Structure 1
């Protein structure tokens, strides 16, 4: 916290930003939300949960405007939806700024977000069907919901898969470390070698005190599960680094951009059917790219796991049978 009398500054708020975020949030939301947070945090007792509820109320007002469906109502609904999203982005930042975040608050925020999106999609597409009698809008409503739900289900499953892979690698590495300690082996870790050298029997006792296993495995605090992807797409990594300097993630058309284009851009400029259709296609294309990336990560994972297990088996071979049995219990 900086400034007189413990007032929060704009720089304090910026420290609560995510390291990377959707480009729509970084460019069009955070600059406004952060400046609203300063007076809100300094001069009011408004809580993050109250902001979530206020954002939801504005979102429901925009849903009603979408349900009315005429041109003026659509424009008003689009503006209210974006204001609702800005306020929604304020609650998490204030929670991090003041240290008042809670599990319930996070659950409330996520639940209200999903309800707002689903109702907005239903209201927008149904109103256009009612006004134009074009059944295409109903099909597009289902397409929007299918793409939106698939995006979030996919994100949850990929998070679980990444966590499971890293958990297995950490568990295997801990076992390797225990086996190495039981064998009395000093680990020397060159940069490139992943092979394990078994000590020579003819070494004298002084040399045995410094038996070595050449491996880089125990040095790693984190496992890089994007090695194969990085090797295949070197130019991508340069572009990614450029965007990351600006806090923009490479998932350039995520669920956030999808809903903003449908609920903010389309009601204002028109071309609603085209934006919903091509937005869904674009969202799924980026999801397919993420699936391809995680598939390459599973190959990195299996290679790392095989290296660790090979090293463990080699060291186990140097242990007396009773010590091996004790370590495996």
Structure 2
């Protein structure tokens, strides 16, 4: 089969990932991926389908009110899901269809598990709050995965139009920090980029200057997280799923309700910060874009 090493697998991990994945899932997923890569011919899409099987089995357990079994199977499903990308990058066997399959599999797993646990707890208690909570979980999950691509579209459009109409190099500083060497400070990254810009005759415009001015501690926290391969969006869809389908069920029915509510509120808070940061970036364009061109990017 293969002759890959653990270092090979570690090298193909994402540069940044959720803290749940980095600390609790990857230590297991990387070693399992090594076994799969060296001793089987299973494809990334095969792993995605296996993850879906575990996810749907988790939903069945939740529907039977087997909360602990459902939580364990959901964790297994997510661990297998984390392996497919590693195998794809390691062997170069990823396919465009795999992106669709992975996305749809994730949404299907969340929908079925939310319906399973909510319906089981409602059947036992007769309390409609569990149905409301299950629906809320699904809505928040869809919002998170709709909001992300739209914010990326805003960032790309803002940067492209600003560059086109000003001639300046407009960047989001957190992207430069994420691509920098571990241990690099914000000022080191900024100076390096400005040095490269001077050589090319470009002006640097940091579209996150307004956000960083309002929250000066953000860069220090950001660089600390980058050094540990953790992204700054601390409560994303992954942490939300972990709270709702792993931590909450392990703690019991009542705890599941509170865990879902608290994690949902935190998810909305972090998503609101992302929206606010994107809005500030569009304001920052006013520094680089002529007045008659601003309506193309300012909203």
Do the structures match in fold with TM over 0.5?
yes
Q: Would the alpha carbon gap of residues 217 and 31 (structure 1) be closer, same or farther in structure 2, given more than 3 Å must change?
A: same
2:76 matched residue in structure 1: 83
How far apart are the structure 2 equivalents of 1:55 and 1:39? 17
Structure 1 residue 309: Cα displacement: 7.3
Contact kept? 1:243, 1:250, Cα under 8 Å: yes
Confirm or deny that 1:255 pairs with 2:237: yes
Unaligned runs of 5+ in 2: 170-190, 192-196, 295-299
Confirm or deny that 1:239 pairs with 2:221: yes
Confirm or deny that 1:59 pairs with 2:59: no
Q: 2:128 aligns with which of 126, 130, 135?
A: 135
2:281 matched residue in structure 1: 297
The structure with the largest alpha-carbon Rg is 1
Contact kept? 1:261, 1:279, Cα under 8 Å: yes
Contact kept? 1:148, 1:255, Cα under 8 Å: yes
How far apart are the structure 2 equivalents of 1:145 and 1:293? 25
How far apart are the structure 1 equivalents of 2:203 and 2:69? 51
How far apart are the structure 1 equivalents of 2:267 and 2:75? 20
1:201 matched residue in structure 2: none
2:188 matched residue in structure 1: none
Contact kept? 2:130, 2:257, Cα under 8 Å: yes
Q: Would the alpha carbon gap of residues 230 and 67 (structure 1) be closer, same or farther in structure 2, given more than 3 Å must change?
A: same
Contact kept? 1:51, 1:90, Cα under 8 Å: yes
SS in 1 for 2:217: helix
Q: 1:168 aligns with which of 161, 174, 179?
A: 161
Matches within 5 A, 1:214-233: 219-220=201-202, 224-233=206-215
Contact kept? 1:63, 1:120, Cα under 8 Å: yes
Structure 1 residue 171: Cα displacement: 2.8
What are the Cα deviations for residues 185-212 of structure 1, in whole angstroms up to 9, with x where unaligned?
A: xxxxxx9xxxxxxxxxxxxxxxxxxxxx
How far apart are the structure 2 equivalents of 1:307 and 1:52? 49
How far apart are the structure 2 equivalents of 1:307 and 1:66? 57
Q: 1:23 aligns with which of 19, 30, 50?
A: 19
1:115 matched residue in structure 2: 108
Contact kept? 2:59, 2:116, Cα under 8 Å: yes
Contact kept? 2:114, 2:137, Cα under 8 Å: yes
Structure 1 residue 295: Cα displacement: 1.2
Q: How many residues align?
A: 266
What are the Cα deviations for residues 84-112 of structure 1, in whole angstroms up to 9, with x where unaligned?
A: 00000000111011111111111111111
1:44 matched residue in structure 2: 40
2:256 matched residue in structure 1: 272
RMSD: 2.5
Unaligned runs of 5+ in 1: 177-190, 192-214, 311-329
Contact kept? 1:173, 1:308, Cα under 8 Å: no
225-234 vs 284-293, greater mean Cα deviation: 225-234
SS in 2 for 1:234: coil
Confirm or deny that 1:100 pairs with 2:128: no
What are the Cα deviations for residues 101-150 of structure 1, in whole angstroms up to 9, with x where unaligned?
A: 11111111111111111111111111100111111101111211221111
Structure 1 residue 237: Cα displacement: 0.9
